[in-house]
Amino acid sequence: MNAGPQTQVDEIAPDIFRMSTWVPDITEHGFTFNQFLLTGDEPLLFHTGQRQLFPLVSAAINRVIALEKLRWISFGHLEADECGAMNLFLGAAPDAEVIHGPLACMLSLIDMCDRPPVAANVEPGAVHDIGGHRLRFIPTPHVPHNWEAGLWFDETTSTLLAGDLLTHAGQCPALTESDCVAPALEAESIFRATGLTTDLGPTLEQLAELDPSTLAIMHGSSYSGDGAAQLRALADGYAAMAATG
C-alpha cells in the first residue's frame, strides 16, 4: 500500500485528535484511513490502522503524546484497517489494553490479543472514564457490519466515534460542517459494505438519540454540527436503498 510520506494530525474536538492517511489508489478519488486519539489521564486510541500503517500512525501519535503512555486500544469491529496493528501497539505501549464489548472478547479477542482484552461494561448508562473523557460503549451488532460491532460515545465532548458509518471517499478536510450523507450513500453504492438489515434503522436512531455534535468518521472527513440529523438522514437513505434492491 502506498500510504504517502506522513499521516496528518488534526484536533477535531477538544483533546480528540484525528490521524489520517490518504491512499490514492483506492477509488478514483483516493481513500482515507483515520484513527482517533483521545488524550487524558488514560489515553485511548480508536482504530489502529493496518499493520503496514503502524510506522506512520505510531509516529503521528508520538506528535501528540508519547506512544508508551497509550492506555486503551479500541475499534468498531474486527477488520484489518480497524485493528490490524493492535498487537504492535500493545508491544509499543507496556500498559495498554484492548477494550471492546464482551461479544468481541469472547468471539475473537481473547485469542487474538497478545495481552488479555478488557470487556467493556455494556449496561445502560455505564461509563468508562479515562480522565478527561467519559465514554459509553454502545453495541451495534451488524451495523454497519460484523456481529461484534460497537461504537463509543464521549459524553464530555458529545463526540460519537462513528467507525465505518458515513464512509466517504476522496482527500477530504479533517472536519466539515457540510452534509456527509450524500457522499456516504455514493460510497455505499460502490462498496456495498453495510448490512441492510431490520436492525439498521433502529440502531442508527439509537445513535441519533445521543445527539452528537461531532462524528469521528473512519473514512473521510469528520463532521461537526447536528450529528443526529446526519444519522437519521443516513437511515432514510439506507431504507430507500433497501426498498429499491
- Summarize pLDDT for 50-83 with one digit per residue, the tens: 999 999 999 999 999 999 999 999 999 999 999 9
Output the CA–CA distances (angstroms, integers) from residue 54 to 3, 48, 51, 71, in the order listed: 11, 8, 5, 17
Q: How confident is the model at residue 134 (pLDDT cuts 50, 70, 90)?
A: very high
Location of C-alpha cell 472536519: 175
DSSP strand pairing (222-224 vs 175-176): parallel
Q: Is pLDDT at 4 greater than 70 in this prediction? A: no
Instruction: Give the angle subtended at the CA of 143 by the CAs of 174 and 55, to the nearest 5°.
Output: 45
- Note whether 200 and 188 are within 8 A (CB): no
Q: How many CB atoms sit inside 10 A of residue 65's CB?
A: 15
pLDDT over 90 percentage in the chain: 92
The predicted structure's pLDDT at residue 25? 87
Cell of 129: 472514564
Output the CA–CA distances (angstroms, integers) from residue 174 to 44, 129, 164, 197, in the order listed: 19, 26, 16, 31
pLDDT over 70 percentage in the chain: 98
